[in-house]
Amino acid sequence: MEVSRHWRLRQQRYALVGEVCPHCDAKIFPPRDICPDCGQDAKTLYQFSGRGEVFSYTTVHDAPAGYEENAPYTVALVKLEEGPMLTAQLTDLGEQPVEIGMPVEMVTRRLREDGERGMLVYGYKFRPRLTAA
């Protein structure tokens, strides 16, 4: 596994750091340095709240190599409160059925492992948003 490939994404994987466009104020995740809305330079870092809602979801039974251990698992498109969408697994679902529009929040979890002695890759997943008791 390529270690630096995952290491250089640590701000995004662990803290949802993207960018904000200084010209049109669009929030950008994943960061890409050029605003997808207005096409101008956008390199100002911006930390997302981690709150969003489920835009779509499905369950993976036949997992790609490296992900078999967790199968079956739920993958979703999550629309963040600030606007952008991302692809992530849902976790901590318990018996709760997933629905489009369900409020979710970011947590840090293990994404994959490379065998018993290999590297562990951590990153964001999303769980049903906790509400105050």
Piece of 15-23, 38-46, 67-75 that binds another protein (CB under 8 A): 67-75
Q: Exactly one of 59, 96, 107, 114 binds another protein (CB under 8 A); which one?
A: 59
Among 4, 61, 117, 133, binds another protein (CB under 8 A): 61
The helix/strand/coil state of 113 is strand
Decide: 106 and 79 in contact? Cβ < 8 Å: no
Under 8 Å between Cβ of 60 and 68: no
Q: Of residues 10-39, which lie at the interface with another protein (CB under 8 A)?
A: 30, 36
Q: Is the dihedral of CA 90, 60, 80, 45 positive or negative?
A: positive
**DSSP H/E element including 14:** helix 10-15
Which residue is associated with the tokens 């809602």?
Answer: 53
Taking contact as CB under 8 A, which single stretch among the options 16-24, 45-53, 82-90 is the one that binds another protein? 82-90
Sites of contact with another protein (CB under 8 A): 5-6, 9, 30, 36, 55-68, 70, 73, 75-77, 84-89, 100, 111-112, 121, 123
